[in-house]
Amino acid sequence: MSSGVRDDERFAQAAEVLEQVISPASAALGAESPRVLALRSRRAAILVIGGDFRHALPEFDALAAAYARTAGPTSEDALECLRQAAHCRAELGQATTALRQFRQVLTHVRAASGDASPPALDLRRNIGMLLLSEGKTVEAAGELQSLHDDLCVVYGPRHEETREVADVLARPTRRRRVAQPYCGPHPIGLSRTA
């Protein structure tokens, strides 16, 4: 058995264990209690790490709605769940809706933290890379050039993130027309090796 299959099984098992905890916790504390929402967020993140975007998507949609009701539509948790739903949609090939959601989150993040805040920079990179993966090279180049300019100011030209965006921009136009795989964020601070 390959390590990738073992990892996927491990993530599926972790999601199942959390599901077994969520049901009684929801009954005892209420479906939208902060603890239950945190458990559901963790489960959805594990589904994403395990590559199960199809099951994670409706959970992140439901979580975004629940956090919008309980903490406000522009709360950090609501926006993070909306961002994760956009990531799932991008991975599932729903680029138009994913772009709309990424831009919706970016609008709120810009208003709260500015265009060059770390969350805004990350969202702008997601948008640029998704545009590139959809073959929208002119629009992607505009997004990524603006991002690169801000990364140079915020982190400097030698920073890893700045160089990564510069490398994408330096690729010949012919290569950019070929759909690039979408490479989105890891969910809610979890890594594949967690």
Q: How far apart are CA 185 and CA 51, in angstroms?
A: 12
Predicted local distance difference test score (pLDDT) of residue 114: 93
pLDDT at residue 115, as a whole number? 92
> Containing domain of residue 143, as a range?
3-189
Looking at residue 13, its pLDDT comes to 77
Q: End-to-end CA distance of the chain: give it in Å, rounded.
A: 20
In a domain, 194, yes or no: no
Q: Is 140 a member of any domain?
A: yes
How high is the pLDDT of residue 3?
Answer: 58
Global pTM reads 0.80
Within a domain: 56: yes
Q: Distance between CA atoms of 32 and 40, rounded to whole angstroms?
A: 10
Positions of the chain with pLDDT lower than 70, given as ranges: 1-8, 173-194
In angstroms, the CA 147 to CA 125 distance is: 7
Q: What one-character DSSP code corresponds to residue 193?
A: T
Of all residues in the chain, what percent are helix, strand and coil, respectively (each to 5)? 75, 0, 25
Residue 70 lies in a domain: yes
pLDDT of residue 8: 63
pLDDT of residue 145: 96
Residue 111 inside a domain? The answer is yes
pLDDT at 186: 45
**pLDDT for 138-162, tens place per residue?**
999 999 999 999 999 999 999 999 9
Per-residue pLDDT at 4: 55
Question: Domain of 10: which CATH number?
Answer: 1.25.40.10
Question: In degrees, to the nearest 5, what angle opens at C-alpha 183 toward C-alphas 181 and 188?
Answer: 155
Structurally, how many domains does the chain consist of?
Answer: 1
**Residue 194's pLDDT is what?**
35
